[in-house]
Amino acid sequence: MIGLRIPRLLTGNPAAALEAQRMIVEKIEAVSILQWRAMTGDLGMNSVSAMRNSIAHYRKAVGRNRRRLSRKK
């Protein structure tokens, strides 16, 4: 994903600043939701299911970003 973001960030224009801010917000949101799911037992009750569900959680976020960043403007 960083390969799709670097070209946008290197432009240094206002859109780059928004992309950097969005990147930080997305990461904080993703980890916050994952922590909540872990605390509520939503990731599973053993380490294997917790790991698999955590990976699935991040894959969804990465997929959304890939689609957004790959769109032509």
What would the pLDDT profile of 13-43 be if each residue is shown by its tens digit? Answer: 998 999 899 999 999 999 999 999 999 999 9
**Phi, psi dihedral angles at 22 (to 5 degrees):** -60, -40
Query: Domains in the chain: how many in total?
Result: 1
Q: In terms of DSSP H, where are the helices of 1-73?
A: 2-10, 14-40, 47-70
Range of the domain at 29: 2-70
5 CB-near residues (< 8 Å, 6+ apart): 19, 23, 69
pTM for the whole structure? 0.76
